[in-house]
Amino acid sequence: MGSLLRTEAQARADLIAVTSYDVALDLDQGEETFGSETTISFSCREPEASTFLDLDAVSITSITLNDNEIDPASVADQRVTLSNLRAENTVRIVATMRYRHDGEGLHRAVDPADGKHYVYGMSFLDAGPSIFACFDQPDLKAPYDVRVRAPQEWIVAGNGAAEQTAPGEWTLATTPPLSTYFVTICAGPYAVETDEHDGIPLGIYVRASLAEQLHEQRDDIFEVTKQSFDYYHRLFGIRYPWGKYDQFFVPEFNAGAMENPGCVTLRDQYIFRGAHTRTELLTRANTIAHEMAHMWFGDLVTMQWWDDLWLNESFAEYMAHRTTADATRYTEAWVDFGISRKTWGYGVDRSPATHPVAGADAPDAGSALTNFDGISYAKGASALRQLSAFVGDDAFIAGVRKHLSDNSFGNATMSDFLGAVEHESGKSLAAWTKAWLLSSGVDDLRLDVHERDGVIERADLVVTPPVGASGGRPHVLEIGAISDARELQRIRVETDAASTELPELAGSPRAKLLLPNISDLTWATTILDPTSLEAVDTELAAAQDPLVRLALWSALLGGADTGQIDPRMVVRTFAATWPAETVASLGDALARLIDTYYPYRLVPQRDSAAAKAALAEAGQRRLALVDPAAPAALTGARLVAATSSDAVLLSAWAADVDRPAAAAGDKDFGWIALARQAELGLIDRETIEQAAGRDDSLNGHLSALQARAALPLEESKTWAWSQLYGDEHQLSNYEGMAIAQGFFAGYGENDATALLRAYADRFFTELACVPKKFGDMSSEQFVLTAYPHGVVEQGIADAARSAIDDRANTAGVRRALVDALDRTDRALVAHRRFTTESPKHPTTEG
């Protein structure tokens, strides 16, 4: 079936209004299929007209419209035509549906730890019709009554509060009006922890095999949940409208979480089964706050059409970091936003896949997913942060309140939201909207400094828009002057000019470091002047303010990403300063970013072994600086385990011998060391199978798949390739991702490099099967994971371009290839520019 067209959705919304849904699901029919009976009441504004509803069924037993039977054989392209409508109508569909394994629809997973089955519903973006018949578009909201039959040992939950009426029989309370993509059912032998806050019943659910870990971590989860509720109630002035609040941590989940009203689903990796860091706790807290923000912005007020999906996610992204920083113990949330989320978004916004935050054309539902990225999240959140600074936070929040109040339980557009902010602030946002929301790309910020005898005579902030832009955007930011870790000046600047004089700096002694965007408030690439660039190493190591360190790292990473700074210098700076980094999220994200994007990618091939070794050495120096039982030691040990080539150390750590105390007994840490052994060819398949035998969990199963795929042996690569692209193997989305993650690991480091080079060419011939095997929602991430990133050659770039031009590949696959190709192109630039030069200091190139 083709994706629902916007014109079709508009015509259907103009014709009908949905009064109610009554959904009965029978989940006790076996492991492959389930029964689905749906009754929909709706009105029609033009009697005798026709419309259609959406249904993705294995088989259809009956369809009845106003007591008239419709032949199930007439259903075509997953659409049921409804003709000769009356003013008031009732349609009833009885069908059999198939459980899915791609994280969409009604997903069924088996926990290998105990063989128990778990079910959860994921109706986003257009997967609802594979669970129940519906008018599947966001602006046809209606209340839902849901009944579920399930195995007697299961519990059942959903959007409305669930009541068990008989063994295996459950009835859910009638919901307020919902969009179809929010409807969910979770069922299985879940373990549960309960609480209550401010009259709201709270529940946390997880697989039975994780019950002990949930019990240990429940207090932190409930604390963040309660703090977020209190913050949003104060901020929005509207009480939580969905009754109870359940959080289901479910297996094999595609995204971080999904904001189903009253029944949020989250990936169950957020229930840590072993050692974990403060960063992981912060990330979980941020996700909890993010999904809760959606209860108001997205659920209470929903976009009219998918082209405004950015506003749901931008708002939740912004609110999550604001809430986590202001209301929880994770006060460093904005630092985490800058290094983790904005770095992701900058990569997209500098690439050919860049697009405006808003206003992107979404002619059909599926096309919206191609712009569901770091721009929709991180840049959109940064734009809202700028909007708050531009109009004043009081006016911004007043506008949010007005928007939520005016459109409660309905749908709205970007214009509605901005109109509410304009009303409360008294400021026109037309120019601001055009510059921030309707344009693409990243502005460059730099200081043009004229000095004499160590004294600044004149300084100007220069804003350079991206190539092809009609003009720059207004910025609210701060500029700092720092020498020897002492902040000498901080200047707040509001400008929409290409060049802005900074009289506050004139007459001042030249500081060693002049840092635009020192508080990381705006969205831009910081280009340091030559004097400041020379001072980066010493000032970064000495800076006490984590936002200053973040701003400096953002400048270095952005410079390497755009080919202006030698990536080897970034590695050197990391090795020199990272071991002493005290903010966990900044240090953890940097370790991940440098290890992922630098050796064997941005760093030229001949220098990559040394770069990898420098990372391992940095991890060892961190271990020497911190308490071996502290979470900071776990971060250092993970970096060593992922980058070291020391066969003796890796063997010992994989066997839980002589590990730092923070990692002792941690099975997940053991798999990191074992995966590194596998990609270096230090172990065989039997060793992996023995490790899997000692860890029968889902994570153990996936880690074993990844390690086996990483073995630099022809037999292992043949097996993995067949698993990923062969018709005879049915993998879950997580199994496919694990094998893909291992396949090209170690390229350039192991004896299978020549073998893998041939597979790199073959990768582009297999792309058409990916959406069919792993689903549309997972396929984009799969392609990004499976892509041969380490093969930095023009031939790979050319093959990627050909695959992007091939319309046999889906839009999601082509979009993933655009992102992956951009990384290859950037690496090629770095190799050409820096291969023949020896690193001296992080200087920019022409």
Q: What share of the chain is helix, strand, coil (3-state, %, to 5)?
A: 45, 20, 30
DSSP notation for 177-233: PB-GGG--EEEES-EEEEEEETTEEEEEEE-GGGHHHHHHHHHHHHHHHHHHHHHHH
Please report, as a single letter, which amino acid is at residue 844: T
Phi-psi region of 784 (alpha: psi -120 to 50; beta: other; left: phi over 0): alpha
- How far is the C-alpha of 586 from the C-alpha of 332, rounded, in Å? 9
Q: What 8-state DSSP symbol labels residue 367? A: G
| Cα dihedral 815/817/820/825 (nearest 10) | -110
Cα–Cα distances (Å) from 523 to 381, 454, 475, 512, in that order, read 10, 31, 8, 24
Helix (H, G, I), strand (E, B) or coil at 670: helix
Three-class secondary structure of residue 134 per DSSP: strand
Cβ neighbours of 237 (radius 10 Å): 14
Taking a C-beta distance cutoff of 8 angstroms, is the pair 747, 792 a contact?
Answer: no
121, β-bridge pairs: 106
Amino acid code (one letter) for 353: A
Q: Is 291 a catalytic residue?
A: yes
User: Is there a contact between 675 and 710 (Cβ–Cβ < 8 Å)?
Assistant: yes
Token readout for 370 is 């191609």
d(CA 22, CA 90): 11
Torsion sign across C-alpha atoms 745, 747, 748, 752? positive
Whole-angstrom distance, CA of residue 123 vs CA of residue 303: 16
Peptide bond into 505 cis (omega under 30): no
Alpha-carbon distance values, 551 to 520, 524, 640 (Å): 6, 11, 26
β-bridge pairing 499-501 and 68-70? unpaired
d(CA 438, CA 775): 31
133, 125 in Cβ contact below 8 A? no
Cα separation, 779 vs 443, in Å, equals: 31
Question: Measured between alpha carbons, how far apart are the two ends of the chain, in Å?
Answer: 51
- Alpha carbon distance 241, 310 (integer Å): 23
Query: Which one is catalytic: 104, 193, 291, 780?
Result: 291
Strand partners, 456: 451
Looking at residue 84, its amino acid is N
Residue 571 C-alpha from the chain's centroid: 26
Q: Hey, which residues are catalytic here?
A: 291
